[in-house]
A = this chain, B = another copy of it.
Amino acid sequence: MQRDLDRLMSERLLDAIIVEGPDGLGAANPAFNYFVRGAHLTGTVIKLRNQPAMLVHSDWEVLQAAETGLVCVSSSRWNMRDIMQRIPDRLAARVELRRQMLTDLGVTGRVGVYGTVQAGPFLALQRGIEAAMPGLTFVAESDKDLISAARLTKDEHEIAVMRAVGQKTCAVVQAAVDYICSGRADGAFVVDSQTGARMTIGDVRAVIDRELAARGMVGEGTIFAQGRDAGLPHARGQDTMELQRGQAIVFDIFPKDASGYYHDMTRTFAIDYATPELQQAYDDVMGAFNEVIQEFELGAPTKPYQTMVCDYFEARGHATIGKTYPIEEGYIHSLGHGLGLEVHEDFGFPSLADRGDVLVTGAVFSVEPGLYYPSKGYGVRVEDTYWCTPDGTFESLTDFPKELVIHLKGTRQ
């Protein structure tokens, strides 16, 4: 949580932090958004240890800056025109501007750097500043960095927001299911009752996108993958493909709303019926899901849960990443990941090295066991977003049924 930042800076011996907020990144700069709370602006957040965070912003964006609640510092305090008249080289001028800014704001010592940046300009600026400011060292945290550590535990406000995003996401999934079920069977296919044409994945995607937009959400990369594509975890699904009864459909949706916070959920559906093989795989996935959530315990390390799921699947004849690497079929990924201002945050249930993740109050993470058999033409994944409450229990923020088979209207059930 934000209130942990000074403690975390102290533990990491950081005198200051700089969070870059360059132009045009929006939600792709979660570290910056964590401070500016989704305001649409560019700028730089600078925080000294045990001081409130400052936002250096343009005069043009004074309204947005004021909304953030941060200490506002106008960038016009430093005169770029004067600097550029003295130093014609643009990079050298930017280094000088930044040197003046950091000096005036008291930034020195060990300084952590965060935020989403452009590789080349960022590297050039860092090299220039380190050369120009001998008393300053940039600390490049790679894993479990300060901002990620703060963001790992969500506060009450963040949970309220994430709960609402979860509810809206479930409503979108329901609308897509309702649309599919409004169709009627035509042999192996599904016919749209309004148009009389065979329903395609593109038709379903149009419903999904419309329902997302109606709720102020954006859902890039939504997966609606049928048959073999359902067996490839990151295949999005082909819009021209016609829906087919009895086929596995993996529907994985991870939208955000204007708050910048994400939800992540997956359901696997089969229209009207499932083959026995698909039903068995589904039952195995649900068995793993239900076993693992029953065992969640506050303070427990996360890696054993991945091992538990691998063991569960291995005992039922599925290859897993726990014993086979690289792996293409079976259980081929890890059990879940943190989420919040990013759909993948710095918390997980590792298959490879243990990074020391532990179930802590305030953690929000996906639980998503799956089985993948592209060579057999199917895959299964079921995913909820879970939250560890302040009293150490675990609550799903995904209030949606987990039934494999959905029935077309007018089809005998």
| Interface pair A90/B342, CB less than 8 Å apart | no
| Interface pair A145/B116, CB less than 8 Å apart | no
Number of copies: 2
| Interface pair B119/A114, CB less than 8 Å apart | yes
> In the complex, what residues of B have CB within 8 A of residue A61's CB?
234
Contact of A91 among B28, B142, B234 (CB under 8 A): B142
The residue on B at minimum CB distance from A26 is B220
Whether A376 is near chain B, meaning CB under 8 Å from some CB there, is: no
What string of 1s and 0s marks CB contacts (under 8 Å) between A137-178 and chain B?
Answer: 011111101000000000000000000000000000000000
| Interface pair A123/B120, CB less than 8 Å apart | no
**Interface-located stretch among A210-218, A273-281, A286-294:** A210-218
A352 to B81, CA, bound (A): 6
Whether A183 is near chain B, meaning CB under 8 Å from some CB there, is: no
A342 to B126, CA, bound (A): 24
A354 to B115, CA, bound (A): 29
Number of interface residues of A (CB under 8 A): 77
What string of 1s and 0s marks CB contacts (under 8 Å) between A108-148 and chain B?
Answer: 00001111111111111111000000000011111101000
A38 to B304, CA, bound (A): 37
Whether A236 is near chain B, meaning CB under 8 Å from some CB there, is: yes
Whether A348 is near chain B, meaning CB under 8 Å from some CB there, is: no
Whether A76 is near chain B, meaning CB under 8 Å from some CB there, is: yes
A213 to B326, CA, bound (A): 40
A90 to B350, CA, bound (A): 13
Contact of A326 among B76, B91, B353, B355 (CB under 8 A): B76
The residue on B at minimum CB distance from A125 is B142
> In the complex, what residues of B have CB within 8 A of residue A13's CB?
none
Q: A residues 204-227 with Cβ under 8 Å of B?
A: 209-210, 212-214, 216, 218, 220-221
**Interface-located stretch among A17-25, A381-389, A397-405:** A17-25
Whether A360 is near chain B, meaning CB under 8 Å from some CB there, is: no
Task: For the A-B complex with A63-B235, A116-B117 known, give 7 more contacts whose Cβ atoms are closer than 8 Å.
Answer: A25-B116, A40-B220, A64-B234, A76-B326, A93-B353, A113-B120, A125-B142
27 residue pairs A–B, Cβ–Cβ below 8 Å: A24-B343, A25-B116, A26-B220, A27-B28, A28-B28, A28-B116, A58-B234, A59-B326, A60-B234, A60-B332, A62-B232, A63-B232, A79-B326, A81-B352, A90-B355, A113-B123, A117-B119, A120-B139, A120-B140, A121-B143, A121-B145, A123-B140, A124-B141, A210-B213, A210-B214, A212-B213, A218-B218
